[in-house]
Amino acid sequence: MQDSVWLAVRGVEILAGLSLFLQTVEFLFLRDALGEKGVWAYAVQRDDLAHSSDGLQALFAFLSREPVYALHLVLRLLAALYLMVFGASAALMLFLFLSTVQLLIRWRGAFNGGSDFMTLVVITGLLIGSLGTIAGYADIAWRAGLIYIAIHSASSYFISGSVKLLNPEWRSGEALGLFLDSGIYGPLPADSLFWKRPIAILCSWAFILWEIAVPLAFVDPLAMVAYCLTGLVFHFLVFWYFGLNRFFFAWLATYPALIFLAVQLG
């Protein structure tokens, strides 16, 4: 494996491991929500799986038992630590992939929306590399895994920015204040700067332009590094104003892949 590939893969492994570790600690803390008396109790949620086979329903019933679920999370925590320290292997990534899918189904498809989607993308990318290594195509498989992650990450910014660009309420700055006002940390104070039209327009257009500019960042690796550094600020603001801490780490884990692809293309 080339040094640049190895470096990017290690970067993704460490940051993905960190992201998975933090997510799993939160899941451990929230076990009651999936427990017998919780909102997501399997006794209720199993009707979501009524259309599936008896075997699959029995498997989910077993995995949803509270001690089994707790053990699953502890194993996931250890797997995340292993990923950070020793790196990916096919068995490890297969476990993390299936574990993530099972958790998402238990949370009815997603727990935290976009961060779940991106976490699955990163795990899939590492799984592609790991499985390719077993098949004897390590270099090309890891490149494919990194490119898979980079394309999803770049697409996420581009699509997110484009839908805002196409929306007149975002272009006029109106949407930003209203989303912040209705968010988990809302309502916005009456004297908030985000209610002031010029500030709202400036912030909205800064988000939109930064997001849709991602294709341009592939022109030069340094441009991509700058893009990713700005991304840290962007995701911190998304956390600060919308409470989406998992997004910060889920997207951070894709940055080595974005930089890798910029190096390959630049």
Break the chain down into helix, strand, coil percent, rounded to 5: 80, 0, 20
Span near another protein by CB under 8 A; candidates 63-71, 86-94, 137-145, 150-158: 150-158
Of 65-73, 74-82, 151-159, 225-233: span binding another protein (CB under 8 A): 151-159
Q: How many residues bind another protein (CB under 8 A)?
A: 71
Q: Is the Cβ of residue 1 or residue 66 nearer to another protein in the bound state?
A: 66
35 forms part of the interface with another protein (CB under 8 A): no
Q: Whose Cβ is closer to another protein: residue 133's or residue 234's?
A: 234
Interface characters, 220-249, with another protein (x: CB under 8 A):
----------------x--xx--xxxx-x-
DSSP 70-122: HHHHHHHHHHHHHHHHH---HHHHHHHHHHHHHHHHHTTT-SSTHHHHHHHHH
Q: How far is the CB of 160 from another protein (least distance, A)?
A: 5
In angstroms, the CA 4 to CA 147 distance is 13
**Of the candidates 200, 211, 212, 205, the residue with the CA atom closest to the CA atom of residue 241:** 200
63 touches another protein (CB under 8 A): no
3-state secondary structure of 218: coil
Q: Which of 42, 69, 111, 234 binds another protein (CB under 8 A)?
A: 111
